[in-house]
Amino acid sequence: VRIVNVCLAERSYPIYITHSEIYEFGNCIKEHFKHNQVVIITNPTVDKLYSEVVTNSLKSAGYNVNKFIIPDGEEYKNIEWVIKAFDFLLENKYERQTGIIALGGGVIGDIAGFIASTYMRGVPLVQFPTTLLAQVDSSIGGKVGVNHPKLKNAIGAFYQPKCVFIDLSVLKTLPMEELKNGLTEVIKHGFILDSNFFEYLESRIKLLQELDAGVLLHAVSHSCEIKAYVVHRDERESGLRAILNYGHTIGHCIEQLTHYTRYKHGEAVAIGMVVESLIALKMKMIDREIFERQLGILKKADLPTTFPDLKVEDIIKSMRYDKKVQYGKVRFILPTAIGKVVIRDDVPDQIIVNAIMEMPKTS
């Protein structure tokens, strides 16, 4: 078991990274869940694949296990399903010490985390992420919440788990589309903060896609370390944590303007990373080689790097409505080198427009 620590004073917690050791889960969480009542929150897809082995491991560690299932899909990450979960927990008389286990991808992690953060003013939470995106990104750092019809992730809280348990073997059942979704965030982590890691990925991205055990372990643990470092430095996103939004300013606009149907999040962010590094190139913050290297690795990972058929004016308009706009200024995270970014809110519209116009178009 490899351990990466998230250091947040009294809210610190470990991320356990294992391979084919789900049976260890129950023992692993013993020091985090003292009470013997636990509820797994999951969806039908993950339930079929992993509930049984997880439940068995919990039972042999002495836990009483119950399960609450939310349908599979982002559209169920809403307040109605939070209330249904509250009904279930209250009907079963679960008290304040009951442990909640979020078993699934980012959708389950976010909603189960939110349920844990509010039920009885907060019950202990363990994240058991089963998608690559959830393992390297959403399960770490305590952002939990649900969507509002008017805005994604509009309702939420910061609520750190007691621990995160990752078993890399669960990625074997993950569709390639979903794996690529998470790869974007792994590549992003290297590109914004760690040039050595970025280089490591440049030569091993195919092995990573093939789930080579050694590469996977290194890439996931290193990615977790980077996310943990950022969260340690800035838990509530008052500064540094915003750098994780690299590629997301444009990425979010693309997702929104294509109604969240055409692209996976990671795909939209990959396009966003290309546009945003092109902006940095136009602002003479990086040279072309850096732009090309990022483009190269995204292509190797089969991520989209061409711009969809969207109107530039609509992109600019949508950018201004994003919740990350502070005091009317659009904030960009821009590279200055591989492994280094800065936060800028003074990018002229014309440069954004030029960068988008210059992007090769999706045919």
Residue 269 contacts ligand NAD per CB under 6 A: no
User: Among residues 32, 37, 69, 74, which is the contact residue for ligand NAD, using CB under 6 A?
Assistant: 74
User: Among residues 13, 58, 137, 179, which is the contact residue for ligand NAD, using CB under 6 A?
Assistant: 137
What stretch of H or E contains 60?
helix 52-60
Q: What is the dihedral of CA 137, 140, 141, 145, to 10 degrees?
A: 80
Please say which residue, 183 or 298, places its beta carbon nearer to ligand NAD. Answer: 183
Residue 238 makes CB contacts below 8 A (sequence gap 6+) with: none
Phi, psi of 99 (to 5 degrees): -90, 140
Please say which residue, 166 or 347, places its beta carbon nearer to ligand NAD. Answer: 166
Q: Catalytic site residues?
A: 121, 143, 185, 227, 237, 241, 245, 248, 252, 265
Number of H helices, E strands in the chain: 14, 11
3 state DSSP class of 8: coil
Residue 46 contacts ligand NAD per CB under 6 A: yes
Residue type, 183: L
Residue 188 contacts ligand NAD per CB under 6 A: no
**Least spacing, CB of residue 40 vs ligand NAD, in Å:** 14
Among 18-26, 41-49, 280-288, 290-298, which window interacts with ligand NAD (CB under 6 A)? 41-49
Q: Write out the two tokens for 102.
A: 């979020």
Residue 131 contacts ligand NAD per CB under 6 A: yes
Residue 103 contacts ligand NAD per CB under 6 A: no
Q: For residues 246 and 189, give the distance between their C-alpha atoms in angstroms, rounded to a whole number.
A: 9
**Least spacing, CB of residue 133 vs ligand NAD, in Å:** 4
Please say which residue, 43 or 55, places its beta carbon nearer to ligand NAD. Answer: 43
Residue 104 contacts ligand NAD per CB under 6 A: yes
User: Among residues 37, 78, 118, 153, which is the contact residue for ligand NAD, using CB under 6 A?
Assistant: 153
Among 26-34, 127-135, 249-257, 289-297, which window interacts with ligand NAD (CB under 6 A)? 127-135
Contact 50, 103 (CB under 8 A): yes
Residue 65 contacts ligand NAD per CB under 6 A: no
Which burial class, exposed, middle or buried, applies to 306 when counting CB atoms under 10 A from its CB (0-12, 13-18, 19+)?
exposed
Residue type, 226: I
Residue 223 contacts ligand NAD per CB under 6 A: no
Q: Which of 173, 165, 135 is nearest to 48 (CA)?
A: 173
Q: For residues 136 and 43, give the distance between their C-alpha atoms in angstroms, rounded to a whole number.
A: 20
Helix 312-321 and helix 349-358, axial crossing angle in degrees, nearest 10: 130
Among 84-92, 98-106, 190-198, 300-308, which window interacts with ligand NAD (CB under 6 A)? 98-106
Please say which residue, 42 or 221, places its beta carbon nearer to ligand NAD. Answer: 42
Pairing of strands 99-104, 37-42: parallel
Helix 312-321 and helix 248-257, axial crossing angle in degrees, nearest 10: 110
Other C-beta atoms within 10 Å of 293: how many?
A: 17
Among 90-98, 174-182, 217-225, 300-308, which window interacts with ligand NAD (CB under 6 A)? 174-182
User: Among residues 49, 69, 79, 351, which is the contact residue for ligand NAD, using CB under 6 A?
Assistant: 49
Among 15-23, 26-34, 72-80, 309-317, which window interacts with ligand NAD (CB under 6 A)? 72-80
Site string for ligand NAD, 77-96 (x = CB under 6 A): x-------------------
Pairing of strands 64-69, 125-129: unpaired
Please say which residue, 138 or 256, places its beta carbon nearer to ligand NAD. Answer: 138
3 state DSSP class of 325: coil
Positions in the binding site for ligand NAD (CB under 6 A) = 43, 45-46, 49, 72, 74, 77, 104-108, 110, 130-131, 133-134, 137-138, 141, 143, 153, 170, 173-174, 178, 181
